Structure 1
Amino acid sequence: MSVALVWFRRDLRLQDNPALQAALAAGHDPVPVYVHAPAEEETWAPGAASDAWLHRSLAALDADLRARGSHLVIRRGPSAGALQQLIAETGAQAVYWNRKYEPVTQPRDAAIKRDLRQQGLQVESHNGYLLFEPWELTTQQGGPYKVFTPFWRNALSRWRLAELCAAPDMLAAHGIDGLPLEALGLSPRLAWDAGFWERWQPGEAGAQQTLEVFTDGALNGYCEQRDLPDRVGTSLISPHLHFGEIAPWRIAHVLQGIRSAGRNADIDGYLRQLGWREFSWHLLHHFPQTSDANLNPRFDGFAWAPPQQALLEAWRQGRTGIPIIDAGMRELWATGYMHNRVRMLVGSFLCKHLRIHWLQGARWFWDTLVDADLANNSMGWQWIAGTGADAAPYFRVFNPVTQAQKFDPQARYITRWVPELAKLPVKARFAPWLSPGLLAEMAPSYPAQPLVDLAEGREAALAAYHLCR
């Protein structure tokens, strides 16, 4: 029987995998391949948290393949050279993969496809990552969207989910050797990620379990609870989606299958969040510069504050003196994740109260989030900063104290991640500098004052905004 390489990338699963399905449907024996080539991602090579997750996800994929008689072949890049070598070793007649959509990987993949086809190989790429590919939805004028609501309205009008496909029961064995996973050096030398794995189980089985837990639990009341960081009110499925351990259309199928009068609003609310993920890739495809530059050029002349490393380090370490901000940054370091509402707050504080460029925040999130995704990360930070598509107006400056009082009213989230404040009365945990005597007595290790006076920081941000209008 003929052999085909199946090149795994951001699709680390066996069910609902269009590239694998196509290879099997064409009658090929698939040789599963992963090529490690982070340098080809250029300035946005995966960060440390992503690497730590990837190590475990690849191990899970290899275990799933071995349970079916095959195994994952791991090689180092460059990608084109590694694939050519494997074609020579296996005599492969075809190569299949699922598409990636980053600005630097699309032309690379197009060149590889062209060169292999010129050699006479069958080469196919598929959509294994999105509900709609970035070029599928256009405005009535044929251009890209910059506002989410009409984008999502169009998406819903064209709602056609891909069919579900079970993982194959068995796969043909092959004798191709690869590198041991450990040779990639993905796991950190110092186990700073140890706390991650108390929360997460990378791999396809972990993704499926996370979806089941969500549909049985947090989905009920999702619209009301998704903004409350003191509880599990969200799906926690974003890292599994990022690594392709579950297909977005499987999530949508499952949710559609459990619709009821009492659940419709929550299901639609969650599907809308999947829609934001689609919108972010739509934006990055059409505006590829936005991973590094403002989408709205009006902000190119914005008066960002001069770089102050001490302020940036205090923000990164959760030592700003503002409890909800510090709680979010400490959750991020401990778990590789941060609640979405809190992401908006820490981002607003960095970009507006401190006036530190949004790219500094984007880079830190990129290195520390297990769900670090170039499109979502770029869109999220530009939304927070007011420089992107459908963005929060720059003059909308979140007050972290009132936001904490609204969304963490018992300060449970704050207390969990900033435990030195636990002895303070609940009301004092939101702005402890307003109770200096209590703070000095009960939490002397916590900053006595925030990095910036919130009112002064807001006024400085608004003044800078008006100068670049």
Structure 2
Amino acid sequence: MTKKIIVWFKRDFRFIDNPALYYAAQDGVVIPVYIHFPTSIKGKLTNSEIFHDQALLSFQKTINQSGGRLLIREEDPATILPKLIQEAGANALYFNLSYEPEQVQLDQYIYDNTLVPVQRFHAGLLTEPGTILNKQGKPYKVFTSFWKSLSSFPIQKPLPQPKEITWEQSEVNEKEPIFENTTISSHWKAGGEKEALNKLQLFLENQLEDYKTYRDYPGMDATSRLSPHLAQGEISPRLIWHETQEQLELTGMEKELSHTYEESAEAFLKQLVWRDFAYHQLAVFPHIVNQPPLQPSYRNFPWIAKEQEIFAKWKDGLTGYPIVDAGMRELNETGYMHNRVRMITASFLVKHLLIHWGEGQAWFEKQLVDHDLANNTMGWQWVAGTGFDASPFFRIFNPIKQAEKFDPPDGIYIRKWVPELKTLPTKYIYHPAEAPKDILNQASVTIGQDYPAPIVEHRFARERALEAFQNMKREGKDT
């Protein structure tokens, strides 16, 4: 009897290195299914959900082109999967594991309560949570140690695309994915897995060598921009890891590798490993999604109650600090922000404004096209100093110096995203409030009218943040 296998797709919209699809294709007839979660179809979609639906539409077209039909349903998976199994006469269910806390619980429930055999596969990370442990058998809390351990760990090679797939020729009408055509769509080409693979190849061939040198400069095209595709599973981290290693080997055969080239490759791979690090910690400490700090002492931190007007100026890019405003405007326009600028804007909210990092986390979750639960949560705890391996709270970014350092030589990033300042001389582009009146007049800029005055003075904000940090420490000693 031919085995009929439902393959339940989630955020794994790819054919290459997709274990559930690969092994189902070997074992029998494949019935591809996607289920829209109820939480994803109510109200306004986040930018990552918009990109998710673009990715889904691309994946659906790819399946159609290969002779299959992706069944799309909008219901609780725990309810609809048993129905689909019965309707299709399926005798097995395959899916790739998820690592977000709610999804982990759902995966386990499906596994425990499905009446047909269930096969689950590790696919979304370099290493499965629980496999990289310290000598005490506990998860690493320091990234450097995690990196060293994972570097010596054998990363599984990506599975190839199935040579042949026998699709179930279903009579059930397929549904079109929910799709919103927004400004976000215009900034991100909906090319699916093919687009992700092309981006990786172009990056490895043209940008990898200089990645470490230029990756912190938001005005330069020096990063892979694979993060949205990685978040939606259009490309696997194992493929990126091994393709990068192969690029190093191929280049090394043609010429002697420079120290910079090797360092750039390592810096790039560390971004993948940081993602694993975040998910390994999320697996052990799932409560951090709901904002409690990883370091308990920060529960006593004296955050200032969120002032809607101040918070809105941060969100809208109207803080009076050009590098912060450029980042927030880029985010609002494109759903993306350069990683260096993410750190600067987050630090400004937490340390200059003393607004709880959870507020920023929630805004990034809504706006980021590449939103990743573990990365976003860990990133904000890193900036706030509340994570295990985090930037100390007392290390406070000066947004003016950060702009001078990372947006040289003439503020190209600021000029793009804060166009009202584009005719200012470079000397004043990073802090226009300090420009002489005649310079501002020549650039047709009036501070407070064309561009806002700083909403908080840096030195005052720094001293206030340090005082709050000391108060937290004193309170901790007294309790």
**Same structural fold, with TM-score higher than 0.5 when normalized by the shorter chain:** yes
Tell me: CA distance 1:303–1:20, structure 2 relative to 1, closer, same or farther (3 Å): same
Structure 1 residue 218, shift from structure 2 partner: 1.8
> 2: CA distance between counterparts of 1:389 and 1:47?
32
Correspondence 1:380 to 2:383: no
- The structure-2 alpha-carbon separation of the partners of 1:56 and 1:448, relative to structure 1 and needing over 3 Å to count, comes to closer
Question: How many pairs does the alignment contain?
Answer: 457
Indicate whether 1:187 and 2:186 are aligned: no
Matched with 1:358 is 357
Deviates more, 1:357-366 or 1:32-41: 32-41
Q: Which of residues 443, 465, 468 in structure 1 aligns to 2:469? A: 465
Q: Give the corresponding residue for 2:25.
A: 24
Which residue of 1 is the match for residue 417 of structure 2?
A: 417
Q: Cα offset for 1:430?
A: 0.2
For the 8 Å contact 1:211–1:237, the answer to whether it is kept is: yes
- Indicate which of 271, 274, 282 corresponds to 1:273: 271
**Could you tell me which residue of structure 1 aligns to residue 390 of structure 2?**
391
SS at match of 1:30: strand
Shift of 1:169: 4.5
For 2:451, the equivalent position in structure 1 comes to: 447
Shift, 1:447, TM fit: 3.0
The Cα shift of 1:266 comes to: 1.4
| Residues 69-91 of structure 1, C-alpha deviations (whole Å, 9 max, x = no match) | 00211001210111111111110
How far is the alpha carbon of 1:408 from its aligned partner?
0.5
Partner in structure 2 of residue 321 of structure 1: 320
Partner of 1:148: 143
Q: Secondary structure at the match of 2:209?
A: coil
Whether the 8 Å contact between 2:35 and 2:73 is mirrored in structure 1 is yes
Distance 2:171 2:360 in 1: 42
Q: Secondary structure at the match of 2:34?
A: strand
What CA deviation, in whole Å up to 9, does each residue of 1:415-460 have, x standing for no partner? 0111110111111110000115233662234334111001101110
Instruction: Give the 3-state SS of the residue equivalent to 1:221 in structure 2.
Output: helix
2:5 alignment counterpart: 4
Q: Given that residues 75 and 178 in structure 1 are in contact (C-alpha distance below 8 angstroms), is that contact kept between their aligned partners in structure 2?
A: no
Structure 2 distance, partners of 1:41, 1:465, is 41
* Aligned equivalent of 2:47, options 46, 49, 63: 49
Q: C-alpha distance in 2, partners of 1:389/1:179? A: 46
Q: 1:161 Cα deviation (Å)?
A: 2.5
Matched, 1:85 2:87: no
Paired with 2:109 and 2:44, the residues of 1 have a C-alpha distance of 22
Equivalent pair of 2:9/2:33 in contact (CA under 8 Å): yes
TM-score, scaled to structure 1 = 0.94
* Aligned positions of 1:58-457 closer than 5 A: 58-116=56-114, 119=115, 121-178=116-173, 180-182=175-177, 184=178, 186-187=179-180, 191-197=182-188, 200-259=189-248, 260=252, 261-262=257-258, 263-291=261-289, 292-409=291-408, 410-435=410-435, 437=437, 438-439=439-440, 442-444=444-446, 445-457=449-461
Instruction: Give, as a single letter, the amino acid of the residue that structure 1 aligns with 2:32.
Output: P
Unaligned ranges ≥5, structure 2: 474-479
How many angstroms apart in 2 are the aligned matches of 1:92 and 1:244? 25
- Shifted more, 443-452 versus 265-274: the winner is 443-452
Structure 2 CA distance for partners of 1:46 and 1:25, relative to 1, 3 Å: farther
Post-superposition offset of 1:219: 0.9
Deviation at 1:206, TM superposition (A): 1.2
- The whole-number CA distance in structure 2 between the counterparts of 1:181 and 1:386 is 44
153 and 384 in structure 1: CA distance in 2 versus 1, 3 angstrom threshold: same
Query: What displacement does 1:5 show?
Result: 0.4
Contact (CA 8 Å) 1:324, 1:401: kept in 2 or not? yes
How big is the shift at 1:258? 1.5
Mean Cα displacement is larger for which, 52-61 or 377-386?
52-61
SS state of the match for residue 150, structure 2? helix
- Once the two structures are superposed, what CA deviation does each residue of 1:170-208 show, in whole Å capped at 9, x if it has no partner? 4424214255224x4x426xx3434423xx435101111
Shift of 1:10: 1.4
- SS of the aligned residue for 2:467 comes to helix
CA distance in structure 2 between the partners assigned to 1:303 and 1:47 by the alignment: 33
Aligned-residue offset at 1:109: 1.1
What is the SS of the residue equivalent to 1:334?
helix
How far has the Cα of 1:162 moved from its partner? 2.5
CA contact (8 A) 1:5 1:32 kept: yes
Q: 1:47, CA displacement in angstroms?
A: 5.3
Letter matched to residue 180 of structure 2: S
Aligned letter for 1:112?
I
Q: What is the CA distance between 1:234 and its match in structure 2?
A: 1.0
Shift of 1:41: 12
C-alpha distance in 2, partners of 1:446/1:167? 57
Amino acid at match of 1:460: R
Q: Tell me if the contact between 2:25 and 2:165 (Cα under 8 Å) persists in the aligned partners.
A: no
Give distance in 1, aligned partners of 2:22 and 2:298.
46
Say if 1:36 and 1:74, in contact at 8 Å, map to a contact too: yes
Q: What TM-score results when the alignment is normalised by the length of structure 2?
A: 0.92
Q: Which moved more, 1:201-210 or 1:343-352?
A: 201-210
What secondary structure sits across from 1:124 in the alignment? strand
Task: Please state whether the residue corresponding to 1:220 is helix, strand or coil.
Answer: helix
Report the identity percentage: 39
Residues 249-298 of structure 1, C-alpha deviations (whole Å, 9 max, x = no match): 11111111121223322111111111101100011111111112111111
Task: Give the letter for the 2:445 counterpart.
Answer: A
Q: Is the 8 A contact 1:3 1:94 kept in 2?
A: yes
Counterpart CA distance in 1 for 2:40 and 2:111 is: 16
Residues 134 and 285 in structure 1, CA contact (< 8 A), matched pair in contact too: yes
Residues 256 and 132 (structure 1 numbering): CA distance in 2 closer, same or farther, change over 3 Å? same
Q: Which amino acid aligns with 1:256?
A: Q
Q: Pick closer, same or farther for the CA change 1:68–1:448 going to 2, 3 Å.
A: closer
Is the 1:394–1:465 Cα contact (8 Å) retained in structure 2?
A: yes
CA distance in 2, matches of 1:167, 1:193: 32
Q: 1:426 to 1:14 in 2, by over 3 A?
A: same
Structure 1 contact 202–240 (Cα < 8 Å) conserved: no
Runs of at least 5 residues in structure 1 that lack an aligned partner in the other structure: none
Distance 1:411 1:234 in 2: 18
Distance of 2:330 and 2:374 partners within structure 1: 22
